[in-house]
Amino acid sequence: MLLVIRDLYRSDKKFAFGFTVICLLIFLALLSFVSPYDPKLWNVVPKNQPPSFRYLLGTNSMGQDIFWNLTHAIRNSVILGSLTAVISIVIGTFVGLLSGYRGGSLDRFLMSVNDSFIVIPSLPILILISSIIKQHISLILIAFILSLFSWPWGGRQVRAIVLGLREREFTYTANFSGMSTFQIIMTEHLPFVIPWVMANFINTILWAIGMETTLAIFGLSSLETPTIGTTIYWALQYQALLRGIWWWIFTPVILAILLFIALYTLSVSISNYLDPRTRIQRMRMKEGGQEA
Amino acid sequence: MNLLKRYIIPRLIQYFIVIFIGVTVVFLVPRFTPLDPVVTVLNRMTSYGAQYLDPSAIEKLKDTMMELYGLKGSIWEQYLGFWKRLFKGDFGPSLSIFPTPVISIIANSLPWTAGLLVVVAILSWVIGNILGGIAGYYADKKWSKFMSIIAMSIYPIPYYIMALVLLILFAYIFPIFPMVGGYSIGLTPSLSLEFIFNVIKHATLPALSLILIGIGWWFLSMRSLTSTIVAEDFVTYAEVMGIPSRKILFQYVMRNGLLPQITNLALQIGGIFSGSLITETVFSYPGLGQLLYMAINNGDFNLIMGIAVLSIIGIATAALVIDLLYPLFDPRVRYR
State how far the Cα of B277 lies from the Cα of B264, in Å rounded to an integer.
20
Q: Averaged over B42-69, what is the pLDDT?
A: 71
| Cβ(B162)–Cβ(B278) below 8 Å | no
Give B48's pLDDT tier (boundaries 50, 70, 90): low
Check if B229 contacts A (Cβ < 8 Å).
Answer: no
Cα separations in angstroms, B312 against A10, A114, B17, B319: 46, 16, 12, 11
The nearest CA of chain B is from the CA of A248 a distance in Å of 13
Nearest-CA distance A54 → chain B (Å): 27
> Chain B partners of A132 at a C-beta cutoff of 8 Å?
29-30, 33, 35, 37, 301
B18 contact residues in A (CB cutoff 8 A): 115-116, 119-120
DSSP assigned state of B189:
P
Please tell me the predicted confidence (pLDDT) of residue B219. 93
Average pLDDT over residues B89-104: 79
Alpha helices in chain B (DSSP H): 2-3, 9-31, 37-47, 55-69, 75-87, 102-137, 142-154, 159-167, 193-230, 233-241, 245-247, 254-283, 288-298, 301-329, 331-335
Q: Residue A290: what pLDDT?
A: 41
- Cβ distance A121 to B172 less than 8 Å, yes or no, reads no
**What are the tens digits of pLDDT across the range B283-309?**
888 889 888 888 887 777 788 888 888
Q: Which residues contact A219 (CB under 8 A, 6 or more apart)?
A: A233, B296, B297
Percent of chain B whose predicted confidence (pLDDT) is above 90: 11
Q: Tell whether the model's pLDDT for residue B178 goes beyond 70.
A: yes
Chain A hits for B312, CB-CB cut-off 8 Å, are 120-121, 124-125
- Give the model's pLDDT for residue A86: 94
Q: How far apart are CA A107 and CA A97, in angstroms?
A: 10
Average pLDDT over residues A147-156: 86
Please give the pLDDT value at position B33.
66
pLDDT digits (tens, 9 = 90+) for A79-98: 999 999 999 999 999 999 99
What ipTM score was computed for the predicted complex, to two decimals? 0.78
Indicate yes or no: CB of A281 within 8 angstroms of CB of B304.
no
Q: What residue in A sits closest to B271 (Cα-Cα)?
A: A121
Across the interface, whether the CB atoms of A265 and B159 are under 8 A apart is answered: no
User: Cβ–Cβ of B296/A219 closer than 8 Å?
Assistant: yes
Of A117, A121, A220, nearest to B273 by CB-CB distance is A121
Share of chain A above pLDDT 70, in %: 94
Q: What is the pLDDT of residues B119-166, one digit of tens each?
A: 999 999 999 999 999 998 888 889 988 998 899 888 888 888 888 888
In angstroms, the CA B271 to CA A119 distance is 9
Question: What is the average pLDDT across B99-125?
Answer: 89
More confident of the two residues A13 and B147: B147
Q: Do B277 and A124 touch (CB under 8 A)?
A: yes
pLDDT of residue A102: 87
- Taking alpha carbons only, the member of B136, B112, B155 closest to residue B286 is B112
What's the pLDDT tens digit per position in B254-267?
Answer: 888 888 888 888 87
Contact B277 A265 (CB under 8 A): no
**Model pTM?**
0.83
Contact present, A17 and B153 (Cβ < 8 Å): no
> Residue A292 has what pLDDT?
34
Domain boundaries in chain A?
Answer: 1-289
pLDDT digits over A16-46, tens only? 888 999 999 999 888 888 877 777 777 777 7
Q: What angle do CA A43, A49, A50 make, to 5 degrees?
A: 150
**Which of helix, strand or coil describes residue A59?**
strand
Q: Is the pLDDT of residue A253 over 50?
A: yes
A277 pLDDT band, cuts 50/70/90, is low
Angstrom distance (rounded) from CA A193 to CA B38: 48
Highest CATH level, class, for B108-287: mainly alpha
Report pLDDT digits (tens) over A155-212: 888 888 888 888 888 888 888 888 888 888 888 888 888 878 888 888 899 889 988 8
Cβ contacts of A214 within 8 Å, gap of 6 or more: A123, A229, B158, B159, B160, B274, B278
Nearest CA in chain A to B155: A261
Average pLDDT over residues A108-128: 83
**Mean pLDDT in chain A?**
83
DSSP secondary-structure letter at B98? T
CA count, 13 A, side-chain hemisphere, B16: 5
| % of chain B surpassing 70 pLDDT | 89
Give the tens place of pLDDT for each residue, B222-264: 988 888 888 888 888 998 998 898 888 888 888 888 888 888 8
pLDDT at position B99 is 76
Q: Residues A196-246: pLDDT tens digits?
A: 888 888 889 988 998 888 888 888 888 888 888 888 888 888 877 777 788
**Which pLDDT value is given to residue B215?**
93
Mean pLDDT across chain B? 83
> How far is the C-alpha of A31 from the C-alpha of A28, rounded, in Å?
5
- The pLDDT score that the predictor gives to residue B208 is 92
C-beta neighbour count of A173 within 10 angstroms: 11
Residues A61-71: what's their mean pLDDT?
83
State the pLDDT at residue B134. Answer: 92
- Confidence band for A289, pLDDT divided at 50, 70 and 90: very low
- Report the residue from A122, A214, A232 with minimal CB separation from B278: A214
CATH architecture of A1-289: Orthogonal Bundle (1.10)
Separation CA A184–CA B270 (nearest Å): 36
